[in-house]
Amino acid sequence: MAQELDNLKVLPSYNVENIIIDEFQRCKGHCYLDHAAATLYSDSQIKDTLSELQSSLLGNPHSRHFPSDTSTQLIESVRQRILEHFNTTAVEYDVIFTSGATEALKIVAENFQWNGSSKAFHGPDNDIVPKNNSEEQVHQKHPEVEDCSTDSSTGSSEKQVIEASPGAFVYVRENHTSVLGMRGLAHQAGAEVYCLPYKEALEIFQKAPYTYLVGDNIDSFIDGNGRKESTEPPEENEQLKTRNIDRMNEESFSNRRNCLFTYSGQCNFSGAKGPLEWIEQVQNGALNDFLKKSPINDQNSLMKANTSDLRWFVLLDAAGLSATCPLDLSRWQPDFVPVSFYKIFGYPTGLGCLLVRNTAWQLLNKSYYGGGTVLMVDSRQMVLVPRPRLHDRFEDGTLPYLSILAIRHGLDTVTKLTGGMGNIQQHVFHLARYTHHALKSYRHANGSPVARLYSEEDQWDVNTHGSIVNFNLLNSDGSYVGYAQVERVASLYNIYLRTGCLCNPGACQTHLDISQENLLHQYEAGHVCGDAQDLVDGLPTGSVRVSFGYMSSYKDADLLLKMVRECFVDGPLMLELSWMKKSVVLPSRTNVGKGPGEDKLHDGCGNVATHDKVTVISACIDVEGLKFSDSETDVITERSLKLLDSKYNSQQSHNVIDENEKVAAPCVAGELSNSEAASLTLTDIIIYPVKSCAGFKVQKWNISLEGLKYDRQWMIVTSSGVTLTQKRLPLMSLITPHINLEAGTLTLAYKGEMDVSVPLEPPVSTTTEMSVCGGRVCGDRVRGLNCGPKVGSWLSQMLGQPHLQLMQQMSKRTGKLESDVHGHLRESLSLVNESQYLVLHRPSVRKLILEIQRRGLNELTEDELLMRFRGNIVVDGGDPYEEDTWSSMAINDLHFQIQGGCRRCQMVCVVPDTGERTREPMLTLSATRGSSMKFGVHAMTVIAKESTNMPELNLFVGAPVVVYTSNIDARSQS
């Protein structure tokens, strides 16, 4: 690797290698690069949490006994620990526990008071009582005073009704879906909704004047016009320091339109950090002029006429930022801060908080009240007294007090291991920068980029970028590699990353240039959020994201880069590095010693990394619009420079490009020709009785309504209903089934161990006595009969998994695939994933073997490769991959509808005879068959659609096969 890239490897201030050894042994052999979704929990945190649970007697905090009081004190101590983590106090912020950042956002959206007071009712002692709730809320100055007001309809206590117009909700476009969800509630409340693109926000705030608030403690706030408005300073007494939110100055609370600006501290798509300076700028009215534009929900905006009565508040979505970066709330003071704890230290999930600035309390006007949130409630009339502290009002029901206990141990463990969030921020930034700059420098042998990177700018800085690198890979002809293909290949390297739009449609659509028209076109083409349809018309629908955590190392980054080099670079790798001269000043290289002919560098884990020798050659290429003079050089690895002349001069003749999908590497020249009509024959019939276990070949077999009789009629599930497959447990390939039709039994064997048998058809008299179990197949909930404890124990012993069950299918499933000609066919399915039959074509298998050998990878026999693809019907004759054009097929009296190609996953890499995983044939599929890596075609029997009484039909080996193309012409006939 070039020295310029090596220089980007900056040693962390803590020992990552020791942390991995001591805390994350379970990750050995795995490369986890999805920390932005959820980071990993450490062994120490779990041990400390478990130890405290084992030594403590804890009860429901709503009770009044000793265990209850212990839980209450524990919760309050954790609340204080959270405030300390964010460098603030209870005088400045309150902590509301939530199920996560999404619920925190929802709380603000549901309860934000968009106007000063839509209907302000003045109760006793001049308290302002919001009357837009269904209940009459009785408030008092002190918790011990119970001073009930009368209904406003009587007029006895009503002093004034103040009308005010709603304010505005402004969100940065590049925000999480959970933020976009806020706009519907804002719209329902009458607020005007504005979408602000990130780049436009940068321009606005660069022009806006910036004013710092003075003083260590905020005892005043500035309205939208720069006027200071007085508020009561919070009391220091523990009981009264969180004062009643309704005792606010009337002039500052009424006749105002409250505006909320929401942006992300760190974009979960690109990793760009939103400037924290925006907080005070917005609070000082920097967005007033922006509201003169038309909102997205109302083209007749009232904001254009008047902005003098606006008061601005800021919600900083810190779920991504706080995961790896410090957030100092004594310096930056947003009004609302959602946080998710599992993103910081992994455990527990389903727990977060909403930090609310005390000066913004009056903005949350709660309607619903659950258990524990009121001081008094009258069940006979609409009267209640809410609790005075904000978090007590919003934490409905019993808090997850046992999970809250783990938060303190999580924060303490992270600090103990790393020295604090500042050290983590530096480490993950350097990891991300190294990965980003390497990918941006990679070139195919023809000089074209290997990756398109999605970041806001090349000038990377720890204050502008975080732990995320987002990209799409490109073929040497400039076409995109689908993200699903990258994800499948990554799985072969045990690399775990995230693909798609990452629940951030704004950033995805911005960076991928997806217009409104293209978005609708992709949806009409069948693409929806979370699916694997990665390309539509050759353009990406999402991207690939890798993200780092405090326990990540340069080994992780280098493994990702190795995977890209080995699987997605066409020809010898070239490095284009001159663009980095315009980037940040690179750190000094850390040399720990040099041997003859090699440099040594710590990789950030305490390991010495040995770098590939590189050869420098002169070249003049135009890459991404950057011109290089003849004196500048490009770097290529010394992976046989002789290939430059021999291989790439003939590249065009070697590339075979399908009309629908671009290949990622050269194919064999001249072997994909359109042959004349050839004789096709059925050569193999393979039955797989137990889902994901081995199959066996037969010479003749009956057909049922669901396909081959007894095919995938059983599957192995855990006691909790999890379906086991070879993806989870490759050893399942060693379980060999055999069906004895005369005896009516299914027998399972495993590597010479004593076998076990179950009946093919359970006796009717015993079915009521057999227990029912279930699992999932491709999202479908499936119920079936538990075949008994004997076979379950046998499976647990053979596979080394506890409490396994063999389930026989009871309920039928309906197919989801559709035909190009007939649309949705709704055929009946067994426990197969997608179709009744999977048809394999032997010429295509032979073609793939040649490709694997040509690439110099491991050799496979035809029969072994055939069994890896787990087809039911195997046909020989004709040209390789001609099955891609088939629309239907006939074998004797049976007619089959072809339902499209089969997308392949890492199961094809399991060696049937050993249960071991290899990287082939998936790597070659990726290189030769496009992003979907299709191999073989799905099919269904047409008669299964037309009849519920299946006639006695069967298949037999040696039968002639007739296939038809989409033009309904006979392709071949014997």
Q: Which residues are catalytic?
A: 503
3-state secondary structure of 291: helix
Q: Please report the DSSP string for 620-637 in residue order.
A: --EETTEE--TTSEEEEE
Interatomic CA distance for residues 546 and 472, integer angstroms: 11
Tokens of 36: 């932005």
| Cβ contact 605:16 at 8 Å | yes
Choose among 446, 441, 325: nearest CA to 6: 441
Query: What is the amino acid identity at position 54?
Result: Q
| Cβ contact 956:697 at 8 Å | no
Interatomic CA distance for residues 234 and 242, integer angstroms: 7
CA distances for 846 relative to 46, 489, 711, 938, angstroms: 51, 22, 26, 20
Interatomic CA distance for residues 492 and 494, integer angstroms: 5
Backbone torsions φ then ψ of 899, nearest 5 degrees: -115, 20
Q: Work out the angle at residue 219's Cα, subtended by the Cα atoms of residues 217 and 223, and round it to the nearest 5 degrees.
A: 120
Structure-derived torsion over alpha carbons of residues 405, 407, 408, 414, reported in degrees to the nearest 10: 150
Interatomic CA distance for residues 336 and 318, integer angstroms: 10
| Cβ contact 796:783 at 8 Å | no
Choose among 475, 604, 602, 470: nearest CA to 542: 470
CA atoms 590, 593, 598, 600: torsion sign: negative
How many other CB atoms are there within 10 angstroms of residue 935's CB atom? 28
Interatomic CA distance for residues 943 and 61, integer angstroms: 63
3-state secondary structure of 219: coil
Query: In sequence order, which residues have a C-beta less than 8 Å from that of residue 474 and are 6 or more positions away?
Result: 448, 449, 450, 451, 452, 480, 481
Tokens of 499: 């693909």
Choose among 910, 966, 901, 899: nearest CA to 931: 901
Helical ranges in 148-283 per DSSP H: 177-180, 182-188, 198-207, 250-253, 278-283
Tokens of 40: 């990993």
The alpha carbons of the chain give a radius of gyration, in whole angstroms, of: 33
User: Distance between the two ends of the chain, CA-based, in angstroms?
Assistant: 57
The helix/strand count (H/E) of the chain reads as 27, 54
Burial class (CB in 10 A: 0-12, 13-18, 19+), 946: exposed
| Cβ contact 534:543 at 8 Å | no
Residue for token pair 């028209």? 517
CA 765 to chain CA centroid, nearest Å: 48
